[in-house]
Chains A and B, each alone.
Chain A
Amino acid sequence: METKKKQYAEVEGLFTWPADEPHLIGGLCKGCNTYFFPKFSIFHKPGCPQGPVEEVLLSRRGRLSSYTVQCFPVPPPFVSADPFVPFAIGLVALPEGIEVIGQLTGVSIEDVKTGTDVELVVEKLYGDKDGNEAMTWKFRPV
């Protein structure tokens, strides 16, 4: 009987996992009403008392505000697919008033278009040497 592949978050604390409807985990400063992602990536408005900053789950849906297609293998510490396949990376505008970066999935690199509504998913980043899957957040057209 085949052992089930394990799936684990490549980095803890950036998104909810495991989850049917994952969210990015961000921060919200109640002092200056600014959202941060990740929550420790802090940029306060001048005059803000620097908090309190609370952990928040960011909206799952947003709009693709820009993208690029990575056409060359990416060096370590990224684990590039072998053979390399160009992939898209996007910037997604969330209702919280910030834009977050993430790989795009579920769309061919020829068909990516800004303005598309996208939602957060958690998918395989790479397969590790034990055959398990390191997972990360990506955005997929709705």
Chain B
Amino acid sequence: MTEVAVIGVGFHPWGKFPDKTFVDLGVVAAMNALKDANMEWKDIPAAVASEYVWGGTDGFNAGPALAGHLGETGIPITNIFNMCASATSVVRSAYHVVASGERDICLAIGLDVSPKGFFGFMGTPNPKDTDYLRWRVIGATNPGYWAMECRKRMEKYGTNAHHLAMAKVACSKHGALNPNALFRKEYTEEEVLASPMVCDPLHLYEICATRDGAAAAILCRADKATKYNGKPIIIGGVGLGSSLYGDPTLRLGLLSAPAGDMAPLLSESHMSAQMAYELAGIGPEDIDFVEVPDNSSWHYLQYLETMGFCGPGEADRFLDEGQTLIGGKLPVCPSGGASSFGEALSAQGLLQICDIVEQLRGQAGPRQVQGAKVGMGQTYGQLGNSASIILKV
């Protein structure tokens, strides 16, 4: 397969936009990416978009809906929905369009706008839908699931309230330096622990908010990339993973899980990371910084182990030693993470990629990871889906 580079990135600011549509956000992201690549929409020969699933038939055909505003060129456009892993999955498909030789260039876009009144279950009540059941007959919220995994971790490895708070503190230090971040306050451990308990043991500040946003990247054959951008960023590999039998994680939306340790926790993320490493021909030790999907402090710690950066139970000490800060051995979420932006489900992976590219271009200013050559991003979707991407200069 042909080597593929990222020649342009752009996004619509993250925030709450109750009066905007997914098209409004998507068009801004696409135009910003095009500008970054010194291109126009009419130069794009293919596109892949995330689906917008919260209302409106056009959302299921989000890509062509965007093309309606950008200009109807008749190009091939795929729409993809892989839950919260959608945006990174979109990039994998865009990568295939170029790597296969089908097209020289492909635009990848992820977008999300919360529907009005978005709180919990958004589907139709259905007694055969376990995601409906967990809300209706138990009252199990997303943080509730994560809190139960977190407690298991605390009892197994000694993770405690201090570690959970410090994960937020670490992300906030990075968010404070990122002018793009929504939440710019640098928190102390005391402030995090003083925030209201949501689902014991997770405090409010230890759980990421949800927000709206859209982000895009333009991919190009590496051997033609410098025509558009003097600093093309190479895609080392994009992995995708589904769950392994025996994974003891109680998946968000299910009512049961295998007991025991037959397969790794968060196995879909383990699989997608492994696949990305294999395709890139490297290992976790070669990664200079990583954007993990930090939905909660539990995730922050667990992903470091699941993705192979730390051995079982070692993430807490790694964090305590300051190794996850910019300047440490492996900066984690140097963008500030979902902790500092809020999560826009179907767009988050591409927001990660925008920041990873900025780092690898050496343009991250006070957040610059010195000597950064290889960056990684990962997003994880409800009910068993994950995508990981490795980018390098």
Q: In the bound complex, do residue A114 and residue B137 qualify as a contact, i.e. CB atoms below 8 Å apart?
A: no
Least CB distance from A29 to B in Å reads 11
Q: In the bound complex, do residue B250 and residue A45 qualify as a contact, i.e. CB atoms below 8 Å apart?
A: no
- Cα–Cα, bound, A34→B257 (Å): 11
Residues of A in contact, count (CB < 8 Å): 49
Q: Which of B119, B128, B130, B254 contacts A75 (CB 8 A)?
A: B119
Least CB distance from B115 to A in Å reads 13
Query: Is B136 in contact with chain A by the CB < 8 A criterion?
Result: yes
Query: Is B286 in contact with chain A by the CB < 8 A criterion?
Result: no
- Cα–Cα, bound, A90→B201 (Å): 13
Q: In the bound complex, do residue A44 and residue B256 qualify as a contact, i.e. CB atoms below 8 Å apart?
A: no
Chain B CB within 10 A, most for which of A93, A94, A99: A99
Query: Is B138 in contact with chain A by the CB < 8 A criterion?
Result: yes
Q: In the bound complex, do residue B136 and residue A98 qualify as a contact, i.e. CB atoms below 8 Å apart?
A: no
Residues in A whose Cβ lies below 8 Å from that of B256: 26, 35-37, 41, 98-101
- Spot the interface stretch: B58-66, B148-156, B299-307: B148-156
Q: In the bound complex, do residue B135 and residue A70 qualify as a contact, i.e. CB atoms below 8 Å apart?
A: no
* A-B residue pair count with CB separations less than 8 angstroms: 128
Q: Which of B137, B148, B257, B259 contacts A68 (CB 8 A)?
A: B148
Residues of B in contact, count (CB < 8 Å): 43
Query: Is A74 in contact with chain B by the CB < 8 A criterion?
Result: yes
Q: In the bound complex, do residue B137 and residue A65 qualify as a contact, i.e. CB atoms below 8 Å apart?
A: no
- Cα–Cα, bound, A43→B250 (Å): 13
Query: Is B68 in contact with chain A by the CB < 8 A criterion?
Result: no
Chain A CB within 10 A, most for which of B130, B200, B201: B200
- Cα–Cα, bound, A24→B250 (Å): 18
Q: In the bound complex, do residue B133 and residue A89 qualify as a contact, i.e. CB atoms below 8 Å apart?
A: no
Residues in B whose Cβ lies below 8 Å from that of A77: 120-121, 125, 132, 135-136
Q: In the bound complex, do residue A74 and residue B198 qualify as a contact, i.e. CB atoms below 8 Å apart?
A: no
Q: In the bound complex, do residue B140 and residue A89 qualify as a contact, i.e. CB atoms below 8 Å apart?
A: yes
A72-87 Cβ-contact flags toward B at 8 Å (1 or 0): 1011111010000001
Q: Which of A6-25 contact B (CB under 8 A)?
A: 10-14
Query: Is B18 in contact with chain A by the CB < 8 A criterion?
Result: no
- A71-B199 in contact given A10-B137, A44-B245 (Cβ < 8 Å): yes
- Cα–Cα, bound, A10→B260 (Å): 31
Q: In the bound complex, do residue B258 and residue A114 qualify as a contact, i.e. CB atoms below 8 Å apart?
A: no
Least CB distance from A134 to B in Å reads 9
Least CB distance from B193 to A in Å reads 14
Q: Which of A13, A69, A103 contacts B197 (CB 8 A)?
A: A69
Residues in A whose Cβ lies below 8 Å from that of B139: 70, 74, 78, 80, 87, 89, 103
Least CB distance from B212 to A in Å reads 19
Least CB distance from B164 to A in Å reads 13
Q: Which of A74-124 contact B (CB under 8 A)?
A: 74-78, 80, 87, 89-91, 93-94, 97-103, 109, 114
Residues in B whose Cβ lies below 8 Å from that of A70: 139-141, 144, 199
Residues in A whose Cβ lies below 8 Å from that of B134: 101
Q: In the bound complex, do residue B245 and residue A45 qualify as a contact, i.e. CB atoms below 8 Å apart?
A: yes
Q: In the bound complex, do residue A125 and residue B260 qualify as a contact, i.e. CB atoms below 8 Å apart?
A: no
- A65-B152 in contact given A11-B137, A44-B245, A77-B132 (Cβ < 8 Å): yes
B56-94 Cβ-contact flags toward A at 8 Å (1 or 0): 000000000000000000000000000000000000000
Chain A CB within 10 A, most for which of B132, B144, B152, B255: B255
Question: Besides the contacts A36-B256, A41-B256, what 6 more A-B pairs have beta carbons closer than 8 Å?
Answer: A10-B137, A71-B199, A72-B196, A94-B259, A99-B248, A101-B138
